Amino acid sequence: MPTSRKHFRGKILIGFSLFILLYILSSMFDGREHLFAFFAKYEQYNADELFIALIVTGFVGLFYSLIQIKKMSKEIARRIEAEKNLLWISNHDPLTELPNRKQLENFISNCESQNDQTNYAVFRIVINRYKDINDLLGSDYRTEILRLIAKRLLYMFPDNVFKLAGDELLALKPNIDNTDLALLAERVIRKICSPIHINAITFNIGTNIGFARFPEDGLDLRRVIQHSDYALSFAKKSGRDQAKAYNSLMQAEFLAKAQREHDFKKALANKEFVTYYQPLVDLKTERTIGFEALARWEIAPGHFIPPDQFVALAEETGNITELTEQLLRLACRDALEWPNHITLSFNISPVQMSDKQLASRITSILAEVGFPAERLEIEITETALLRDINVARLTLRKLKDEGINIALDDFGTGYSSLSQLCNFPFDKLKIDKSFIDTFQLNVKQEKAILAVLSLASALDVKVVAEGIEHVSQLIRLQELGCDIGQGYLLGKPMPQANLKKTVPWAIQDIFNLDPEKAQ
C-alpha cells in the first residue's frame, strides 16, 4: 500500500511539473499572442469557444481527479491500518492481548540475529482447573479469569509474558541480577493463586511452574524453553501449586517417555493389548455372576506395563478410543464363551465421557460381535461425570436404553453427590478398595459403608465391595448386607484360557474357610 501512495504522488508531481514547463514555454514565446492570432484566423470554426470548453473540461477533470485521489488516499490509509491490525492479531492472543507463540518466535529470532548475550530466566506456567471452570460456569468466566491472571503476570514480568495455549503461559525475565528463581517462582504462584472475585463468586485458581535458565541450561533459547516445559511436567506430578527447576535428568526421562509412546503406538497397531478377567461374586448366593475385564500390556514374558501408565499414554496421545474399542471387542468375544448368566464389566476412561459418539461406538461393537447388551456393564469413575455433565448424562441414558448396565466405580473417593446418584442411571456402586482395607479397624468407615448400603438399597442400586483380600472382610461384608464382592480372595485377574481351567463359577470353598486361618 505505501508503494501505491507513492505512485499517486508521483503522478501529481509529474502533472505539476508539466504545467510549470508549459507556463515557462508560453512566457518565452509569447504564447498568448500566438493563441489569440490562432483564434482570430479560425473564428469561423469557433476555435476560441472550443478552447474554453477544453479548459473548463480539464479543470473539472482535475477537480474530480483530486477528489478521487483523496478518497483513494483514505482507502489506502484504512487498508494500511487494517494490515497493522491483522499483523497485531496474528502476533497476539485476542482474549488476553498477550503476545502469542508466533511473537515469541520473533523475539527469539531477534535475539539470535542481534547476538543478544542477555541471561534469561524462563518460566513455563500452567493454570489448573481452567477447563473445569469453562465446563461448569461457561467461557465468559474462564476468559475473565485468564485476563486477570495475565495482568498479574505482566505486573511481575512487564512486556515479557506470552500466551502459548489455552491454559499455558510463558514469562521471560532478564536475569542479570542472578535472582533466586525458586523464590521468584513461589512469589508468582502466590500472585496467581490469590482469590479472584467475579460477580460475587470467588475462584481459587491453582498453578504449576517449570523454570529454566539461559544460557546455563542450554545455549539455545528455544531449547531452554523446551527444558522449562520438562520442568513443568515434573511440577505437575509433584502436586498442585508446585514449581520445579530444570535439571538434565528430566530430559532423559522425557526421552524415555517418548520411547514408551512409540512402543505403545506400535503395540496398539499390532494389537498386543489383552484382557484379563477378575470374578465378581454374589455375596448372598456365593456364586460368580460376572467378570471385570482388565487391560494388560505384556512387553516381555511375565513383565507388564501397569494399566494406569499405558492408559495415561493412550489418553495423552489421543489413542484412548482405539485402545478401548480393541479391548471391548476382544472382551465381548471372550465373554461369548461364558455361561449366558455371566456378565462382562468393562471400564471406560473419564476422557471418553466427553465423546458424544461413545454410546454408538459401544453398541456398534456389540452388534458386530453379537454380544447381548444386557450382559454388558459399563464402569465409569466419579471424575468422569465432571468433564461434561450434560454429555455424560446423555451418553449413559443412551446406553441404558440399549439395555446396558452402568456402575459407578471408586465410589467415595471423588466428588459424587446425592443429585448425581439420583440423576444418573446407575445400577451399581463400587466401594473403593481404600475403604475395604481398613473399615474393620475404623468405626467411622464401617458406618460410612453401612450408610452407602442403606442409600443404595433405597435407590434400588446394588453395591460392590472392591479389594476383598481377607476372609474376615468377606464375612463382615456379608453380615452388613453387601451385594457383590471382588478381590484377590475371590479370584485374581486371569487370562481367558485360565478361566476354563479354574472353573470359578462356584466358589463355596472360599466361604467355608476358617477366618483366622485364612488371614
Cβ(186)–Cβ(193) under 8 Å?
Answer: no
Work out the percent of the chain whose per-residue pLDDT is above 70: 82
Over the stretch 113-146, which tens digit does the pLDDT of each residue have? Answer: 888 888 999 999 998 866 666 665 666 777 888 8
pLDDT value of position 413:
65
- CA torsion sign for 311, 314, 317, 320 is negative
Exposure b/e, 415-429, CB count within 10 A at least 16 = b: ebeeebbeebebebb
Work out the percent of the chain whose per-residue pLDDT is above 90: 43
Exposure b/e, 143-171, CB count within 10 A at least 16 = b: ebbbebbbebbbebbeebbbbbeebbbbb
Over the stretch 51-102, which tens digit does the pLDDT of each residue have? Answer: 677 777 767 776 777 777 777 777 767 776 666 667 778 888 888 889 999 9
CA–CA dist 385, 362 (Å, integer): 18
Residue 468 has pLDDT above 90, yes or no: yes
Question: How many Cβ atoms sit within 10 Å of the Cβ of residue 20?
Answer: 9
pLDDT value of position 139:
67
Residues 6+ apart with CB under 8 A from 194: 152
Torsion of CA 277, 283, 284, 289, to 10 degrees: -10
pLDDT value of position 359:
95
3-state DSSP of 461-485: CEEEECCCCCHHHHHHHHHHCCCEE
Residue 514 has pLDDT above 90, yes or no: no
Q: What are phi and psi of 180, to 5 degrees?
A: -70, 105
Q: Name the residue with higher pLDDT: 266 or 382.
A: 266
Helix (H, G, I), strand (E, B) or coil at 343: strand
CA–CA dist 231, 245 (Å, integer): 6
The set of catalytic residues is 466
AA identity, residue 260? R
Comparing 187-201, 314-328, 330-344, 404-418, the range with the smallest average pLDDT is 404-418
Residue 335 has pLDDT above 80, yes or no: yes
Model pTM? 0.62
Residue 412 has pLDDT above 80, yes or no: no
Over the stretch 251-294, which tens digit does the pLDDT of each residue have? Answer: 888 888 888 889 999 999 999 999 999 999 999 988 999 999 99
Instruction: State the chain's mean pLDDT as an integer.
Output: 84
Residues in the chain: 519
Cβ(409)–Cβ(376) under 8 Å?
Answer: no
Cell numbers of 457, please?
438399597
Cβ(447)–Cβ(468) under 8 Å?
Answer: no
Confidence category of residue 513, pLDDT binned at 50, 70, 90: very low
Mean pLDDT, to the nearest integer, of 449-468? 90
